[in-house]
Amino acid sequence: MLNKKIQDALNAQINAEFWSAYLYLAMALHFKAEGRSGVANWFEIQFKEEQAHAQILMNYVNQRGGRVTLAPIEAVPATWPSILDAFKATLEHEQKVTALINNLFALAEQEKDYATRDRLLWFVSEQVEEEDNCRTLIDKFTLVGDNGMGIYMLDNELASRTYTEPSPLATAE
């Protein structure tokens, strides 16, 4: 059984994951409207991943006999000046999510809730990957700058990204 402090913190993280999904959906829609279908695809995959992260946490709360409480999702930005600006905003956001996950992990340790701590280890590793992916894309878009052919090639590269269901969902009931 989850204690109230852990349950409340997990519910806050569920809301944060849905906010992240909403942010990435807004980015996907923005770049689709700008004619950057590959960039839009990358953010659509991010949108799906964030929804999956929320689902993993909701499944976990239910498995532990807790209650998921969905809260309103705050508004997100709707436009970005450039692709590079969007990926810089993405990295900044993912760094905030990393801090949230780390704080949740620390709370689980403080509360001696080792099952929750164990579930959160997957998220800790996931955040390392998320930040690394953002840094790589920032480096690539910085390198090409305003070069239309470079942007075109990167847009095509991002169009090939596909969604893979996270392993904690594949093993969920």
pLDDT attached to residue 27: 98
pTM of the predicted structure, to 2 decimals:
0.95
Give the separation between CA 16 and CA 5, rounded to whole angstroms.
17
Residues 32-91: tens digit of each pLDDT? 999 999 999 999 999 999 999 999 999 999 999 999 999 999 999 999 999 999 999 999
42 by Cβ neighbours in 10 Å (0-12 / 13-18 / 19+) ranks as buried
- CA 65 to mean position of chain CA atoms: 25
Span of 21-30, 84-93, 163-172 with lowest mean pLDDT = 163-172
Average pLDDT estimate for 81-109: 98
Q: Is the pLDDT of residue 173 over 60?
A: no
Domains of the chain (ranges; CATH) run 4-168 (1.20.1260.10)
pLDDT attached to residue 1: 85
Q: How is residue 125 annotated by DSSP?
A: H
Within the chain, residue ranges assigned H as helices are 4-33, 37-63, 83-110, 114-144, 148-159, 167-170
Within 2-36, residue ranges assigned H as helices are 4-33
Which residues neighbour 24 within 8 Å (Cβ) at sequence distance 6 or greater? Answer: 43, 44, 46, 47, 50, 90
